[in-house]
Structure 1
Amino acid sequence: MAAGAASQLGLRAAGLGRAPASAAWRSVLRVSPRPGVAWRPSRCGSSAAEASATKAEDDSFLQWVLLLIPVTAFGLGTWQVQRRKWKLNLIAELESRVLAEPVPLPADPMELKNLEYRPVKVRGCFDHSKELYMMPRTMVDPVREAREGGLISSSTQSGAYVVTPFHCTDLGVTILVNRGFIPRKKVNPETRQKGQIEGEVDLIGMVRLTETRQPFVPENNPERNHWHYRDLEAMARITGAEPIFIDANFQSTVPGGPIGGQTRVTLRNEHLQYIVTWYGLSAATSYLWFKKFLRGTPGV
């Protein structure tokens, strides 16, 4: 009996010695095995490598996303260079038109589409009984406009432009003439009878085309005779004139009448500032990107 018990104890001891290492660890850690699931020790080194690879991928993605900032800024700067060339050509063309010698007003209205801002000369008489008022307006000072590039209004005084039908005796048609600026207190023609020209006169003015209403600009109000933009078709219907419009020049001004020369012919050209801004932003962000990702400077 004693020998049999000793033999069984020896076999159990031998069995414990042959037990797998995982069983021993479960015994020490008091972890109960789950049926069908093999226990494996944690692979800490592999997880660290995977985390490092993921971080590298994230950094690479961020690197190329941030590179879009200097590239986009450079593209916008180059676009502004092209815009500046276009604007300079437009200004040169506008100046050549404004300074050109006046030509007779064409008999064919279709020719006027290519003559905006071109001086034309007409002869005829005004019909003051059908005046239209474009308001509110501020007076244009040609000298100040040229000096300040049209950045601000030439005057803070509010008023209106007087648009009067003008019958061209040589062409046999009636057109619309913007005689110029009057202060608000002079809108009533009874207050400026001295400036109501009678008889035939010679006029020089710049051709202007119709306008479309811009955002935030009120609708025209023909019933109240308030016009906020040049709608030549509507103006022509009201007055019985042709949809032909000219701005009378400053020399057409008479004592007591509207002040002529109310054509703003200057264009804003701020593209050089935009070029410096965009190229400067591109250079600064390119330097920061190079310092961060190519030189690996910490803390940037």
Structure 2
Amino acid sequence: MLRLSAQICKQSLAMQRLPGSTNRIPTIRLQLVTRKMTQQSQKIEWTTSIPIGNKDKDKITALGWFLLLIPATTFGLGVWQVKRKIWKEQLIKDLDKQLHMPPVNLPDDLSQLAQMEYRLVTLRGRFLHDKEMLMGPRSLIRPDGVETQGGLFSQRDSGNGYLVITPFQLADRDDIVLINRGWISRKHVDQETRASGQNRNEVELTAVVRSGESRPQFTPDHKDGQVYLYRDLGRMCASSGAAPIFLDAVYDANAAPNAPIGGQTRVTLRNDHLSYLVTWFSLSAATSYLWYRQIVRRIPF
């Protein structure tokens, strides 16, 4: 375009220099045309010098914003685990407080016990030893709260055994409840080996209110109607005629020799929320860094 305009200018100047040339209007028109063409050519060169698409390239796409949900979600799960940790710690404190509160009398309405788990209650009656059941195997919880571990030949009888579950006929009513009298070793499974601990008189005892258990995953069915693997209140009550009430007897230092050892209450509350919240917050930090590196900075690996 510039060359063409330059040639036109030269031709116009040559025509002006010709002798006798008096027509100057075409020359002025040619100059105007040349100036417009020059401006248009300069405008085109100026616009084409700007990089096209840089702003679009820096924008975060819809997919990029969608991937931001990963660090945001894991951060939210970490916050939720913090709240769960606080709640579980407070629940454990409340249960421990209930275990150390003074015992109360067994309520007349036994259905109230469903809201009193881990509370101490006192009751009076007599054991029905002919309907005794076993639950286990279980390790022994000593009076100081330490749980023994069986397995070695020297510890097989002292650390591994069963819990004795005996129906208990209440003295002031016709109701029967289930009492976990405590732990016995394997060599004392037969009642004859612990005859001195089979008291058939009316007694008063203190026990901890417990609830039933669902069948744990991968746990096989019960061996028979006498040995149970967990607190299956449905089957226990059906075989003994007891109400669906389960109580753990407390430790009695004056118990007869070879009698079941009470105080076998396990507070079965797992508190793994600290490890969970560390995991979620770590995932949130890692995915946030990856999102910033890949989506915002566009830095390849």
Give the TM-score taking structure 2 as reference length. 0.70
Report whether the alignment pairs 1:63 with 2:64. Answer: yes
Secondary structure (helix, strand or coil) at the match of 2:292 reads helix
| Residues paired across the two proteins, number | 241
User: Identity of aligned pairs, percent?
Assistant: 46
Give unpaired runs (5+ residues) of structure 2. 1-52, 151-158
Moved over 4 A (4+): none
Per-residue CA shift, 1:99-137, capped at 9, x if unaligned?
221111112121111111111111222222221011222
Pick from 199, 202, 221: which aligns with 1:200?
202
Matched, 1:155 2:149: yes
Report the residue type matching 1:122 in the other structure: L
Q: Is the 8 A contact 2:188 2:258 kept in 1?
A: no
Give a deviation string over 1:78-115, Cα, whole Å, max 9, x none: 12122113212321321232122111111212111111
The answer to whether the Cα contact below 8 Å between 1:102 and 1:204 also exists between their aligned partners in 2 is yes
Other structure's SS at 1:78 match:
helix
If you compute each CA radius of gyration, which structure gives the higher value, 1 or 2? Answer: 2
3-state secondary structure, aligned to 1:256: coil
Q: 1:142 to 1:90 in 2, by over 3 A?
A: farther
Look up the match of 1:109. Answer: 110
1:226–1:266 Cα change, 3 Å: closer
| 1:35-60 CA-partner distances (Å, limit 9, x unpaired) | xxxxxxxxxxxxxxxxx99x969x83
Q: Please tell me the residue identity of whatever aligns with 1:110.
A: S
**Counterpart Cα distance in 2 of 1:182 and 1:168:** 24
Report whether the alignment pairs 1:85 with 2:81: no
Q: What is the aligned partner in structure 1 of residue 220 from structure 2?
A: 218
Cα deviation, 1:182-228, whole Å, max 9, x if unaligned, reads 122211111111222242222100112222223222223444x1212
User: Cα distance 1:144–1:199, how it changes in 2: closer, same or farther (>3 A)?
Assistant: closer
Q: Which residue of 1 aligns with 2:249?
A: 248
Kindly indicate whether residue 182 of structure 2 is the aligned counterpart of residue 180 of structure 1. Answer: yes
Counterpart contact for 1:177–1:245, Cα < 8 Å: yes
Structure 1 stretch displaced more, 255-264 or 87-96: 87-96
Whichever residue aligns with residue 139 of structure 2, its letter is: T
Deviation at 1:261, TM superposition (A): 0.7
Give, as a single letter, the amino acid of the residue that structure 1 aligns with 2:183. F
Partners of 1:232 and 1:285 lie apart in 2 by: 47
Q: Give unpaired runs (5+ residues) of structure 1.
A: 1-51, 146-152
* Structure-2 change in CA distance of 1:206 and 1:256 (3 Å): same
Deviation, structure 1 residue 170: 3.0
